[in-house]
Amino acid sequence: MFSEVFKASIMGKAVSAGKIKVAARNIRDYATDIHHTVDDAPYGGGAGMVLKPDVLASALEGVPAASMSAAGMPETGKKRKVILLSPQGKKLTQSLAKELAGFDQLVLICGRYEGVDERFIELFVDNEISVGDYVTNGGEIPAMVLCDVVIRLIPGVLGNEDSLEKESHANGLLEYPQYTRPQNFRGMKVPEILLSGNHKEIEKWRHEESLKRTAEKRPDLLKKSKEGK
């Protein structure tokens, strides 16, 4: 599931350029029985199966520490965070992604089935993270989302670093409307201010449109932002 994702687009370029290193591990490789069992029925009864703590612990302990920093330089005192993708976790936000981008190594545990044995979480997991208030079939796709969000924040990954400062959620607001050629599309014209060449007025218009768009589409964000105070 992961191999093709990390060959494509910005993440693929980041891997090729040595900005990041990615390794996916199959926890079945760490099961000791003949059937490579990774889950079992929950104590106390109930539906579904629970991922076994011994198998997960063996898989995690088999992950070596990062050999270089995100900038590609050897470094001591690595900062590592173990994350479980779980619908019970803290919601992934842009600010949380920025925090995670500062770590040298992220180890992502993909939850599945009915859940993960609580003892593994208590012993090994630093943070539980959710990508939204819904349940996916497993933590693999949420892990890909987390990677996509975090990797683009690593210095040198994006060609134009300025775009990070003005995109949606970067400053707590939604991004202003964007336009390109043609100037007239099916009777809808590009706002005149964007054709004026007056950069000060353009920035003012964009800020006002950003506030307006946030108020209309995500008023909850406006209440949290400095602009809404």
Question: pTM of the entire structure?
Answer: 0.85
d(Cα 83, Cα 72) in Å, to the nearest integer?
22
Neighbours of 168 (CB within 10 A): 17
Report, as an integer, the average pLDDT of 117-142: 96
pLDDT at 225 over 90: no
User: CA of 164: how far to CAs of 72, 106, 167, 226, in Å?
Assistant: 21, 21, 6, 18
Q: Which of 193, 190, 211 is nearest to 202 (CA)?
A: 193
d(Cα 205, Cα 211) in Å, to the nearest integer?
10
Report, as an integer, the average pLDDT of 159-183: 80
* 140-151 helix and 9-16 helix, angle to the nearest 10 degrees: 70
Tens-place pLDDT, residues 43-59: 999 999 999 999 999 99
Q: What angle do CA 203, 209, 214 make, to 5 degrees?
A: 130
Task: Give the pLDDT score at 165.
Answer: 62
